[in-house]
Structure 1
Amino acid sequence: MFKKHFVTIAAVILIFAVGLFLRLESAYVTGTPVEEKSFYLDQYNLPYMYELDSYYNYRLTLNYIEHGYLGDTKVDGQEWDMHSYYPPGVPLDYPPMIVYLAAFIYVVVNLFIDLPLIVVVFWIPAFIAPLAGIVVYLFTRRISNGTGALVAGLLTVLTPIYFIRTVPGWFDTDIFVIIFPILVIWLFWEAYHTLNQRNSLIFSILAGFSMFLFATAWNGWQYYFYLIIFFSILWICGSLIKKRPVKKILYITLTFVLVTLGLLAILTGYLNVLKLFYAPLEFIRISGAHGPWYPWPDVYSSVSELSSVTIDDVYSYIGISLSGGFLGLLWILRILIKNLKERYLKSIDWFIYTLLILWTLTGFLALMKGSRFVLLLISPLTVYTGIMVGLCVEYLIHLKLNWFSPITRKRVIYVLAVAIVCLVVTPSVVNISKTLNMSPGADDNKMELLEWIKYNTPNSTVVISDWSAGHLITYAADRPVLMDGRMGYIETLQSRSLDKRYPFGAKSPSPARDYWFNHAFATSNESLSMGIFRMLTSSGDVAFLTMDEYTKNTSLSVEILNGILGVDNKTAFNILVDKYYLTPNQAETILKYTHPTHPSPYVIWTNLDMIGRGFWIYNFGEWNFNNGTSAASFTYYFKDIHTDGNLITDESGLIVDLGSNNVTYKGSVPYCFVEISEGNLKKTYLNQSNDLCVFLMLDKSKSLIISKKYENSLFIKLAVEKEDNPYFKPLYKNSDSTVWQQR
């Protein structure tokens, strides 16, 4: 008995140690040259966060520590985030587990040592993520043997996508997406597997409680709740067909549901219960031919982790557990069919096997919503792989190997078992070394500029920038943004019709705001750009939502607003009344939002990362609202350049000879060539018949090839050329970023 417990404890320590210490390497910015590392380190000599969502979670945690709730303030007794989607801000609707956990750890740590919150949350993922491997190990050990369980636990903490999303500096809810689901599945199975009615009740309650905790930790918890419900219905139907008793599964499922929903309703509010029942309808709506915000462009389609995936992608994210998992799945099926489980897998049964199968199918179904949901596949596939390894060991044990003495035979089996474990686990260790070659999401230049905004602009200043930088801005500059990483707050769609805090329902928040942002940068009409910025920063979505109420036609609403935002109040009034036949009262109402008497102050932040996402500015900014597709046909390539003396090339087909001033792109001379170096700009027009402009950013070792029709767009002027112009002036700049203000 002592030996058995010792082995278990040793395995738990090993899994935790491997998961922890391999993750610690990310704190050394291993993917960055030594001479550049300090550029990515903060004042505490730690890397800036690798994932910018971490700064959102940090900000909510700081709010909770400072005034006892996650929001910035309370409006009519409800928490509001006044930094995100401003104006007007948004009701705070976010799973609080990560905040509660971080605040608790911060308080405990500071009982012994004085550490800033940002340092505490930086390290939290590295200590929480390995716990998932321990839970998987204990569960797999319950249905297999110790060797297979060890493999399952190690593969869990080393799975590439889970590993990279739980390193220090990735302070996000992904740390919970394996721990709680495996607990729920395990406890639910134990409730059915045990013969003791009292224990069955306890396990059912614990399963429901674990599901409740998961609901407070991750927005995707509904997948697992419906997985349990669907499985229970399937099991009941199968039992009825085979004339087996169903009382126990009904009893367990009902207890599970009542505990989960009861705790949700009592501790988080009835809306979270209603969301659960609206979720399937919303999933169907989102997955339809048109998204929930049609005909507005869908900013979510620009997010790589929400894009569709291929089998190669899944393999790179999961690693050997994908193939090992399917082999294990088939092997278990063979054992169950041939009634060999008493010999090799005594604890496994059709109940847990079917549940794991459905779990796997749920994971593949979730991939329809993007690659990040591959996380749902990790647990079942690592468990299958662990069972497969366990079966290999069991088969070795049952081999006679008569040519060895009993002691030698035992040693041979031990050596072979270790070899199998190493064979399965080693590729994962090798793979993670590649995943660590990444740079933090921020650097000294960005932080320097955002701190300048914080200390040199009024508190009411709205910072305009790409949505991907929103969380960083609200953290470092402490200023509101038009959009951030939560974009259109798609997670709240399920309950908006039931929540009075969303007067516009699904229409706001929405990606519609992103269209206006992109259109302002895509156009070469600076007056229109200024009008769009004025509208968004002063009244948010109200202008175009009100116009939609009048016209009942989104395409017409956009046309009208584009016609008035670039002109003065009087001209705009005449256009609304004379050209589009709005009543004077309607026109005055619209102008109150588009041409406010006291517009909000704003600044624009442009940086190199924004150029990397520039394709979407033109794709979404030139949108055809009649068919819901981009109206733009254009070229946009942003590439690294390779220099060999005076010869410069890139992967897209650019060849520049600085010595002879010859420039070609895919064999043709471009319309214009713009050379930018250390703030100096030289533009040359070369070929009037060509459709492309080439921008060569020598100090950044970058090239940009873009259609000539966007040569004078605001995006090119502010983000690429970065030169003073009649409409916007630079307030502050460094080598990477610039802060602009309207003149």
Structure 2
Amino acid sequence: MSKRDISITIAIIIIIFLVGFVLRVESTQISGIPTDEKGFYQDQNGLPYMYELDSYYNYRLTENYLDHGYIGDTIINGTQWDLHSYYPPGVPMDYPPFIVYLTTLIYKIVNLFSSTPLLVVCFWLPAFIGPLSGVVAYLFVRRFTNVYGATVAGILMTTAPFYFIRTVPGWFDTDMFNIIFPLLIVWFFFEAVHSENNRKRILFTVLSAISMLFFAISWEGWQYYFYLIVLFSICYIIWNRLNRKNIKNLLYIVGGFSISTLLMVVVLNGYLDVITLFTRPIQLLEMIGSSNIWTPWPDIYISVSELAKPTLEHIISGVGIAFFGGIFGFIWIFRVLINENLKKRFLNRMSWIFFSFLLLWAIIGFFALTEGSRFILLIIPPLVLSTGIMAGLCVSYLNILKNSKKFNIFKNRKKLPQIISIIIILLFAIPAVANVSASYSSFIPGTDDDLWTACQWINNNTSNETVIISDWSYGHLFTAIADRSVSFDGRLGYIETLPARNYESSYSFGNKSPSVSREYWIYRAFETDNESLSIGIFKMIATNGDIGYLTLDNYTKNTTKTVEILNNILGLNKEEALTVLITEYKLNKQEAQTVLNYTHPNNPRPFVLVTTDGMVAKGYWTFYFGSWNFNKREGDNITYSVGKINITDNTFNSSNGILMNLKAGTATWNGQVPYSVIIIKNNNIKKYYSNKNSDFDIILNIDTNKSIVVDKRFENSLFTRLVLEKSNSTNFQPIYKDNKTVVWKTSFNS
């Protein structure tokens, strides 16, 4: 490359990076929140709270690493344990550590020159990593086409909406690595394949393996890319062998890549990662072949929005303009490759093997979308690369027209082709930039001052052994800021650890724990109006975790029966429960006492409940899973709807179909009269009965401007009392309250 070419390349790389970085920085303005309310969503550093609460999990692990040199809380029998998550008993520390290592390194470098809190470093890191994907995409596509097509690829990669959202400041999660490392892996691998120099083949093979190693310690799904490359290569080798073509070089590259990757992963990350390389596909097939791998427990994962199957509209909005550009690009590239003259003229450096892989990459990505919208990340790279190559073809064809005698327009306008080429870049770049700019209003921090202050209050006013019970989505925040153990958190049933549990002795109960069973019990406690049962469940979970129902399960050999028994005894005192176990369920005295030691502990661990206004929107799932029918293995039909109240003159109407005439004193929901109307204003609750034959209640919370329709069955449930009404119950009293957040305690003697 000439000095001029090097200068142009450096300039374009800087532009691509700055485009991605500046756009991401703009998201910190939280423009979707009124100016006078922004301070409520900003921390002590003047930055918005993290958008994704999983960020606080990575923050806590980084704190651990800085504090004592490993990411777990402690080491038990040679294994790191996390004693904050899924407690008791906690979980073996099984998490890709690269995000911790990288953040620690950057934190130490930054603090050589300033005194910057770790939380600030964590906040800003994604804004620097995300744009690097555009730089890699530029260099990758430049391998096959001109600078214009490569620039398009770079800009589209760094502004791909779904990836952009997950790499803004305040989204401190492993998603930031899920494009940059796959690009490096594939790029280096095919550089090795295309190289005719043995030293370069070895160099690029090793670089590809090293990139895969970094990916393996960055994301637990790295195995899918490993299989994609290896299985594709094997198929291509077989195809070439059948057609009597030379396969020796490709064999060496694939073998070297596979062996190098596996050896480095074992050395740096342990043998379990290699074991899961072979067991994870089996788990995937089981998941595809089963509607619920947790049967008979409810599958809590269906409530996770990013694991829901995306609509076509969602996919297009997540990929951006590259969705159409990529598909059209595949067609155009194929058209060029099948014509030898066109291939030599326009895509001389592209091979059929790379095109086939790129197409397979996209197809596999589309199939992966059946497992959830988060896998949009898998289809972004191949579609963007294809779009960039297509844009390069547009410019290349333009150069032909420039030299054609049929188009005199270019004769006296020598700069016109360059101007049109720049316009082509802008035709792709402007919609991409406008698309992500339009998304700024959707950035709302995952927490606020109320919840943050509640965490600090818990940290200062509760004992270290206190367990926090709340909705799983807030768990990582509580463990990091309140520094207390939680019953469950954003890792839910630790599904990603299933492939390794049979090979790791630390998982004493194998696939039975951790699991989604704990979520059922928590939701059951919130769903019921039997507060004695709720307290019994909370005491069992907070003190002994899953051991109580796992022990009973060993005796009944029937999980459905186990759930029935526990629902009948957890609301009783220990003596009453003993009688029921022996007389009604025919356990012998020793078995019954063993079970009760775990379900009715003599010295229960202290716990607090934390409720927030954010839980209101999740009430449907609380009631759905909490009322799970284990015989039918399905939830009941639940009536639950949340909306916003609008007040005009003497009328209340809401976004979810509630209409109330203040003069007439009547209220309806979608034209139907409720059983009762509950009005909450200035923390005072008034209840009016309307139709005894109706099966739903209306709750109008003037204080929060929310309207809720809830199934009549749950009008006295713990969830309704503590979350929807924030009212004192018989056994639960607030010990801390700050607008949207309440911390509750209970008396064990109630």
Equivalent residue number for residue 447 of structure 2: 442
CA distance in 1, matches of 2:247, 2:241: 7
Q: Counterparts in 2 of 1:58-73, with a 5 A limit?
A: 58-73=59-74
Q: Report how far residue 47 of structure 1 moved.
A: 0.4
Q: Is the 8 A contact 2:297 2:517 kept in 1?
A: yes
Are 2:659 and 1:655 equivalent residues in the alignment?
yes
Q: Report how far residue 417 of structure 1 moved.
A: 1.0
Q: 1:388 aligns with which of 378, 387, 390?
A: 390
Q: Is the 8 A contact 1:23 1:163 kept in 2?
A: yes
Q: Counterparts in 2 of 1:174-193, with a 5 A limit?
A: 174-193=175-194
CA distance in 1, matches of 2:440, 2:84: 32
Q: Report how far residue 121 of structure 1 moved.
A: 0.8
Q: Counterparts in 2 of 1:366-445, with a 5 A limit?
A: 366-399=368-401, 400-402=403-405, 404=408, 408-437=412-441, 438-445=443-450
Amino acid at match of 1:217: S
Q: Is the 8 A contact 2:410 2:416 kept in 1?
A: no
- CA deviation digits over 1:601-628, x for unaligned, max 9? 0000111111110100111011111232
RMSD across aligned positions (CA): 1.1
Are 2:96 and 1:95 equivalent residues in the alignment?
yes
Q: Report how far residue 145 of structure 1 moved.
A: 1.1
CA distance in 1, matches of 2:39, 2:375: 34
Q: Report how far residue 404 of structure 1 moved.
A: 4.1
Q: Is the 8 A contact 1:292 1:506 kept in 2?
A: no
Equivalent residue number for residue 228 of structure 2: 227
CA distance in 2, matches of 1:363, 1:668: 45
Are 2:243 and 1:242 equivalent residues in the alignment?
yes
Amino acid at match of 1:601: P
User: Alpha carbons of 1:401 and 1:641: their partners in 2 closer, same or farther (altered >3 Å)?
Assistant: farther
Q: Report how far residue 552 of structure 1 moved.
A: 1.1
Equivalent residue number for residue 119 of structure 1: 120
Q: Report how far residue 647 of structure 1 moved.
A: 1.5
Decide which moves more: 713-722 or 393-402: 393-402
Are 2:502 and 1:500 equivalent residues in the alignment?
no
Q: 1:475 aligns with which of 480, 483, 501?
A: 480
Q: Report how far residue 409 of structure 1 moved.
A: 4.3
Q: Give unpaired runs (5+ residues) of structure 2.
A: none
CA distance in 1, matches of 2:614, 2:409: 66
Amino acid at match of 1:671: Y
Q: 2:359 aligns with which of 346, 357, 360?
A: 357
**What secondary structure sits across from 2:485 in the alignment?**
coil
Q: Is the 8 A contact 1:671 1:693 kept in 2?
A: yes
Q: 1:462 aligns with which of 467, 470, 474?
A: 467
Are 2:695 and 1:694 equivalent residues in the alignment?
no
> Percent of counterpart pairs with the same letter?
48
Equivalent residue number for residue 728 of structure 1: 732
- Give TM-score scaled by structure 2 length: 0.98
CA distance in 2, matches of 1:507, 1:657: 52
Q: Report how far residue 707 of structure 1 moved.
A: 1.2
Equivalent residue number for residue 741 of structure 1: 745
Q: Report how far residue 292 of structure 1 moved.
A: 2.4
Regions of 4+ moved over 6 Å: none
Q: Report how far residue 651 of structure 1 moved.
A: 2.6
- CA deviation digits over 1:185-233, x for unaligned, max 9? 1111011101011211111111111101100011111110000111111
Amino acid at match of 1:46: L
Q: Is the 8 A contact 2:683 2:703 kept in 1?
A: no
Equivalent residue number for residue 75 of structure 2: 74
User: Alpha carbons of 1:15 and 1:584: their partners in 2 closer, same or farther (altered >3 Å)?
Assistant: same
Equivalent residue number for residue 547 of structure 1: 552
**What secondary structure sits across from 1:219 in the alignment?**
coil
- CA deviation digits over 1:399-444, x for unaligned, max 9? 1354548674431111111111111121111111222212100111
Q: Report how far residue 695 of structure 1 moved.
A: 0.3
Q: Counterparts in 2 of 1:265-664, with a 5 A limit?
A: 265-339=266-340, 340-399=342-401, 400-402=403-405, 404=408, 408-437=412-441, 438-630=443-635, 632-664=636-668
**What secondary structure sits across from 1:663 in the alignment?**
strand
CA distance in 1, matches of 2:501, 2:638: 37
Q: Is the 8 A contact 1:639 1:704 kept in 2?
A: yes
CA distance in 2, matches of 1:35, 1:726: 38
Q: Report how far residue 341 of structure 1 moved.
A: 1.3
**What secondary structure sits across from 1:155 in the alignment?**
helix
- Give TM-score scaled by structure 1 length: 0.99
Q: Report how far residue 27 of structure 1 moved.
A: 1.5
CA distance in 1, matches of 2:386, 2:189: 18
**What secondary structure sits across from 1:231 in the alignment?**
helix
Q: Give unpaired runs (5+ residues) of structure 1.
A: none
CA distance in 1, matches of 2:367, 2:523: 32
**What secondary structure sits across from 2:671 in the alignment?**
coil
Q: Report how far residue 675 of structure 1 moved.
A: 0.3
Q: Report how far residue 325 of structure 1 moved.
A: 0.1
- CA deviation digits over 1:522-543, x for unaligned, max 9? 1111110000001100110111
Decide which moves more: 613-622 or 283-292: 283-292
Q: Is the 8 A contact 1:535 1:594 kept in 2?
A: yes
- CA deviation digits over 1:703-731, x for unaligned, max 9? 00011111001100111111122211111
CA distance in 1, matches of 2:297, 2:675: 33
CA distance in 2, matches of 1:561, 1:405: 84
Q: Is the 8 A contact 2:656 2:707 kept in 1?
A: no
CA distance in 1, matches of 2:352, 2:134: 24
Amino acid at match of 2:400: H
CA distance in 1, matches of 2:397, 2:563: 69
Amino acid at match of 1:375: L
Q: Is the 8 A contact 2:620 2:638 kept in 1?
A: no
- CA deviation digits over 1:529-588, x for unaligned, max 9? 000001100110111111111111111000001110000101100111110011111101
CA distance in 1, matches of 2:212, 2:453: 43
Equivalent residue number for residue 173 of structure 1: 174
Q: Is the 8 A contact 1:16 1:133 kept in 2?
A: yes
CA distance in 1, matches of 2:392, 2:295: 51
Q: Report how far residue 78 of structure 1 moved.
A: 1.2
**What secondary structure sits across from 2:221 in the alignment?**
helix
CA distance in 1, matches of 2:729, 2:712: 19
CA distance in 2, matches of 1:251, 1:418: 42
Are 2:707 and 1:706 equivalent residues in the alignment?
no
CA distance in 1, matches of 2:496, 2:672: 48
